[in-house]
């Protein structure tokens, strides 16, 4: 999956939020995967 810089930044912020909600200090692969799952299909 190719992402623009704007999409990458937005998805990383969502992943950070997911990690925060789970009480995790670091963003992991699972958090990024969950963030990508929230993307809307074109």
Asked if residue 33 belongs to a domain, the reply is: yes
Q: Is residue 29 part of a domain?
A: yes
Domain enclosing residue 14, as ranges: 5-37
Measured between alpha carbons, how far is 23 from 9 in angstroms, rounded to an integer?
A: 21
For residue 42, is it within any domain?
no
Q: For the chain, give me the number of helices (H) and strands (E)?
A: 2, 0
CA angle 13, 26, 12 (to 5 degrees): 20
pLDDT-derived band of residue 1, with 50, 70 and 90 as boundaries?
confident
At 6-40, the pLDDT tens digits run: 999 999 999 999 999 999 999 999 999 999 999 98
The pTM score is 0.88
Q: Examine residue 10 and state whether it is found in any structural domain, yes or no.
A: yes
Overall domain count for the chain: 1
Check whether 41 has a pLDDT greater than 80: no
- Is 23 domain-assigned? yes
Q: Is residue 26 part of a domain?
A: yes
């Amino acid at each position: 999956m190719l992402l623009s810089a704007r999409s990458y930044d937005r998805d990383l912020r969502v992943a950070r939020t997911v990690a925060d909600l789970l009480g995790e200090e670091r963003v992991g692969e699972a958090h990024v995967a969950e963030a990508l799952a929230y993307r809307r299909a074109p």
